[in-house]
Amino acid sequence: MMEPRAPKMTQCSPHSTARVGAYGEEVALRYLRSLGYAVRAMNERVAHDEIDIIAFDPAEKSLIFAEVKTRASFDQDFPPQLNLTPAKCACLRRSARAWVADHAYEGSYRIDLLCVAAGRVVEHIKEIAEICE
């Protein structure tokens, strides 16, 4: 006798989206570590916001606040960075400033975007201020 199957989750299901996002963050984490970055925190809550990854870039002696955008598969016409809206950019800036103030951090920092698709980082944009304008 066959056991009943759980219902399939659709691509738009929040559980599916959360799973893809968590997987993308793990891929991004491994990528940053492979570059020698020291990861300080993941999914750090700052007030009502969340910073995906906080890491230190030893080459540039800079703290990075990394936003991870993930797609299950790669599509040149719909890259992950398209989800970086002006509202999300404002949220990232606010979160980074709040974290710096809360931790009395006095060093340099930047906000990076890591685009994950098909199980790998397909683009790492350092200092996203220019694309958030």
Average pLDDT value over all residues in the chain? 83
Q: What percent of the chain has pLDDT over 70?
A: 79
Q: Exposure pattern of 75-113 as b/e (b: 16+ CB <10 Å)?
A: eeeebbeeebeeeebebbeebbeebbeeeeeeeebbbbb
Res. 76 pLDDT band, cuts 50 70 90: low
Render 29-82 in DSSP notation, one character per residue: HHHHHHTT-EEEEEEEEETTEEEEEEEEETTTTEEEEEEEEEESS--TTS-GGG
Q: What is the pLDDT of residues 11-20, one digit of tens each?
A: 444 447 778 7
Q: What pLDDT score was predicted for residue 70?
A: 86
Q: pTM value?
A: 0.80
Q: What is the pLDDT of residues 84-96, one digit of tens each?
A: 788 888 999 999 9
C-alpha span between 60 and 70 (Å, rounded): 25
The residue ranking higher by pLDDT, 73 or 24, is 24
Residue 19 identity: R
For the 37-130 domain, the top CATH level (class) is alpha beta
As a residue count, the chain comes to 133
Q: What pLDDT score was predicted for residue 110?
A: 96
